[in-house]
Structure 1
Amino acid sequence: MSSSCNRPITLLSLGHVCVDVYQGAVAALVPYFVSERAYTYAAASGIVLAASLLSSVVQPVFGVLTDRWPMPWLLPLSALTGGAGVALSGVVGSYALTLVAVAVSGIGIAAYHPEAARAARAAAGGSNTAMGWFSLGGNIGFALAPPLVAAVVATGGLGASPLLGVPAVVGAVLCGAAVRSPQRRSAVARAAVATGVDDWASFLRLSGAIVCRSVVFVGLSAFVSLYVRQRTGGGEAAGTAALFVLYAGGALGTLAGGRLADRYGRLAVVRRSYALSVVAVAGVVLVPGPAVYPFVALTSAGLYVPFALHITLGQDFLPRRPGTASGVTLGLAVSAGGLAAPVLGSLADATSLRTALLPLIALPVVGRLLLCGLREPAPAVERPPAQRHPRTTSA
């Protein structure tokens, strides 16, 4: 990563930490909603759905908008919005208002990612490793969510949830500094305007694979804490530790993914990661006792190694629409996993958590099959901004 883009990538990565705390916080709050409010598994998973549903629909819309008009002001505003919803979720008085609060948080997160991914890609200069650092910020945010929620809610109850808004304020300050950074402005000014043919067929197959990955990740995020507590006989600490391992392993996985892709190619690394996830998820669901923890870590690696690569592959499959590609790969395809959460919750209520989690073993297989036959996209042909022509509609 060059010195010219070091500062903006650092600021954007740290801002990403603060924003994605709120993606992980919703799942981390589920056990407390179950214990303090006596929600059923289906009701608790409905909260995960509310956080994901609007985000999955709205995020591609923000991507389309940022393809037309850069919106750097969205970054600090969306950080504040994402935090406000989670902060209010523990103090509102009804299930319906809880759904509204986490939905507002989801909209804030949706507004953040397309513009942030565009800014990071411009600053990264095409480096998979640099984009890995940006994605690492989000993964660290996920990983910090369980201990943060435990520290606040386990000691003060759900009524202490307004304290969870503190990272949003920090994130807004960092995002504001990032968009004002002279290096960031220079990188954006130098950024070329990509031309070429959008490969929608390959992009849709990649998106389908990301959906499969998302269902596995969201399903485990929502229920691995409760499941590990059942399997190990441990208390809240055992479940929080499992969720932390699931998220924290993504830090190493994301960085490894960027470095491995620079050496072996993005698609080769992504395909092998999906194959690894099959074995890892099977271990989480089927292996009894404390031995489940290594498989949680292995699952984290399998799910996170391709994370940043999904983004850059999507942007290169749609070289004329990087904001749209970011909105789908970071938003629609990822958040679509939340749609499956109520189904898993209802199945768990009717049978058991183990039975509900069994289908997650097959989904990485489906994702791997969708990736078969895809070719590494060629580097986009670029022209400098001075030669920019009026936007035309491409096929």
Structure 2
Amino acid sequence: MKGRIRKYGPPIFHCINDFGQGALTALLPFFISHYGLNYYQAATVIFCNTVVASVAQPILGYAADRWRVPWFIPIGFFVTLVSISAIAVVSSYEMILALSLLAGIGAALFHPEAALLVKRTQSHEIGNAMGRFAVGGSAGFALGPLIASGVYTWGAPYLWVFSCIAALGVLVYIYAFTGDAMVTDSSCADVGESSAARNDWTSFGKLFFVIAARSILFSVLSIFIPLLYISVLSGTADMSSLALTLYFALGGILTYVGGWLSDRIGFLNIIRLGYIVFLPALLGFLYIPDIWGFFGFMIPMAFGVFSQYGPITVLGQKYLAKNAGFASGITLGLGITLGGLVSPYVGHLADVYGVQAALQVLVPVGIVGLVISLWLREPS
């Protein structure tokens, strides 16, 4: 039993952590209706969640390179989900922002050490292994909105279900990984390997712009897909959460596909293919504003965003072979959170010009990501 949990533990814990991240975006319509927020204020909730993670994750990743800190994993997802639950008892917009900030700290604790756990224990077909890990996060983003949609039926106190999930996850981690000699030995081996490795900072600097572009696409779409569903298709708030769940469910499948393909045709080829597929799919998604355009173009659009997740993470660890934890803090952490830094500005555009017009800013972002990816090379 322990062996199976060790094998599938990192994806499971990633799923648990990202319950909270996915739920927070799905709760935006609830915040808008319950607290009277505008699009800018709603997007700022995500901004507060991501800004602290954007600063903290590389620092915590560097700490994971220097010291083995496996307890970052359970503490991280516990803080994230309890913060989401605590929104049930707040009475002001400012308290929502504070709890969103705290949830971001939890995500920053979790991601670097969890990515290193995958690297240390899954050496064979690392693209596939990282793909499974990324699928766990995508599954969490998909299930988070589905679980959070219960708030529209049972009200804010329903959110305490996230704390129950966090407590269960901590118990599973303690059972499977506490005092685990296997992970300790592999950690020592990883340190020995990294001492003989070298860092390619030039390539990683170029990769950062690809990471930033993909992060903006991911974060902005995660926020505005339910809002687009409501404003353009005249959908209801609870159905908008299901639309977001479908998007993340597609993302989970396509994340695994991207990781599996990257071991066979190359990490950079998957990234480039992702942008090539994404750009025309986004145009169809925006300019065919009916139910067929919305869900039909969502599939290739999700492939463009999610298939890059695993390959980007592996490339970061290979470019910075001596500092794989720091690289994971950038690629896995900021790869999700960095885009949230620009979401308030997209929210302001949506207030002025409408959601559909505001999302057109993603076209030049995708073009930049594609162009930079063509300058990168596969690591040795």
**TM tier relative to shorter chain:** over 0.9
Tell me the amino acid that sits aligned with residue 134 of structure 2. Answer: S
- State the TM-score, normalizing by the size of structure 2: 0.94
The structural deviation recorded for 1:167 is 1.9
1:104 equivalent among 99, 102, 114:
102
Residues 176, 281 of structure 1: alpha-carbon distance in 2 compared, 3 angstrom cutoff: farther
- C-alpha deviations, 1:97-136, integer Å up to 9, x for none? 1111011011011100000000111111152111211111
Residues 190, 277 of structure 1: alpha-carbon distance in 2 compared, 3 angstrom cutoff: same
Q: Is the 8 A contact 2:108 2:333 kept in 1?
A: yes
- C-alpha deviations, 1:165-186, integer Å up to 9, x for none? 2221122223334433454345
Tell me the amino acid that sits aligned with residue 206 of structure 1. Answer: L
**2:31 aligned with 1:19:** no
Report % sequence identity: 31
**For residue 354 of structure 2, what is the aligned residue in structure 1?**
352
Give the distance between the partners of 1:325 and 1:159, measured in 2 at CA.
Answer: 38
RMSD over aligned CA atoms reads 1.8
State how 1:143-292 maps to structure 2 within 5 Å.
Answer: 143-151=142-150, 153-180=151-178, 181-191=180-190, 192-194=192-194, 195-291=196-292, 292=294
The structural deviation recorded for 1:330 is 1.5
Q: Is the 8 A contact 1:90 1:98 kept in 2?
A: no
**For residue 61 of structure 1, what is the aligned residue in structure 2?**
59
**For residue 372 of structure 2, what is the aligned residue in structure 1?**
370
Of 233-242 and 196-205, more deviation after overlay is shown by: 233-242
Q: Which runs of 5+ in 2 are unaligned?
A: none
- How many residue pairs were aligned? 375
2:117 equivalent among 116, 119, 134:
119
- State the TM-score, normalizing by the size of structure 1: 0.91
- C-alpha deviations, 1:305-325, integer Å up to 9, x for none? 110111110000000000100
Residues 310, 5 of structure 1: alpha-carbon distance in 2 compared, 3 angstrom cutoff: farther
Residues 87, 41 of structure 1: alpha-carbon distance in 2 compared, 3 angstrom cutoff: same
Q: Is the 8 A contact 1:80 1:169 kept in 2?
A: yes
Give the distance between the partners of 1:224 and 1:79, measured in 2 at CA.
Answer: 25
**For residue 325 of structure 1, what is the aligned residue in structure 2?**
327
Give the distance between the partners of 2:153 and 2:334, measured in 1 at CA.
Answer: 35
Q: Is the 8 A contact 1:5 1:184 kept in 2?
A: no
The structural deviation recorded for 1:31 is 0.7
Give the distance between the partners of 1:134 and 1:141, measured in 2 at CA.
Answer: 11
Residues 144, 73 of structure 1: alpha-carbon distance in 2 compared, 3 angstrom cutoff: same
Residues 134, 119 of structure 1: alpha-carbon distance in 2 compared, 3 angstrom cutoff: same
**For residue 134 of structure 2, what is the aligned residue in structure 1?**
135
The structural deviation recorded for 1:267 is 0.7
Give the distance between the partners of 1:188 and 1:373, measured in 2 at CA.
Answer: 33
Q: Is the 8 A contact 2:68 2:187 kept in 1?
A: no
**For residue 301 of structure 1, what is the aligned residue in structure 2?**
303
Give the distance between the partners of 1:326 and 1:299, measured in 2 at CA.
Answer: 25
Give the distance between the partners of 1:302 and 1:173, measured in 2 at CA.
Answer: 36
Give the distance between the partners of 2:61 and 2:341, measured in 1 at CA.
Answer: 21
Q: Is the 8 A contact 1:26 1:51 kept in 2?
A: no
Of 178-187 and 352-361, more deviation after overlay is shown by: 178-187
The structural deviation recorded for 1:15 is 1.1
Of 324-333 and 159-168, more deviation after overlay is shown by: 159-168
Tell me the amino acid that sits aligned with residue 267 of structure 2. Answer: R
Q: Which runs of 5+ in 1 are unaligned?
A: 379-395
Give the distance between the partners of 2:44 and 2:249, measured in 1 at CA.
Answer: 25
Tell me the amino acid that sits aligned with residue 138 of structure 2. Answer: N
**For residue 392 of structure 1, what is the aligned residue in structure 2?**
none
Q: Is the 8 A contact 2:121 2:183 kept in 1?
A: yes
Residues 16, 334 of structure 1: alpha-carbon distance in 2 compared, 3 angstrom cutoff: closer
Residues 5, 315 of structure 1: alpha-carbon distance in 2 compared, 3 angstrom cutoff: farther
Tell me the amino acid that sits aligned with residue 187 of structure 2. Answer: V
Give the distance between the partners of 1:274 and 1:174, measured in 2 at CA.
Answer: 38
Give the distance between the partners of 2:324 and 2:316, measured in 1 at CA.
Answer: 8
The structural deviation recorded for 1:236 is 2.4
Tell me the amino acid that sits aligned with residue 217 of structure 1. Answer: F
Give the distance between the partners of 2:209 and 2:51, measured in 1 at CA.
Answer: 17
Q: Is the 8 A contact 1:224 1:242 kept in 2?
A: yes
Q: Is the 8 A contact 1:91 1:161 kept in 2?
A: no
The structural deviation recorded for 1:162 is 2.2
**For residue 387 of structure 1, what is the aligned residue in structure 2?**
none
Residues 361, 176 of structure 1: alpha-carbon distance in 2 compared, 3 angstrom cutoff: farther
Q: Is the 8 A contact 1:245 1:300 kept in 2?
A: no
Give the distance between the partners of 2:222 and 2:295, measured in 1 at CA.
Answer: 14
Aligned to 1:17, the other structure's residue is in SS state helix
Q: If each structure's helix is expressed as a fraction of its own residues, which one has the higher value?
A: 2
Q: Is the 8 A contact 1:32 1:158 kept in 2?
A: no
**For residue 381 of structure 1, what is the aligned residue in structure 2?**
none
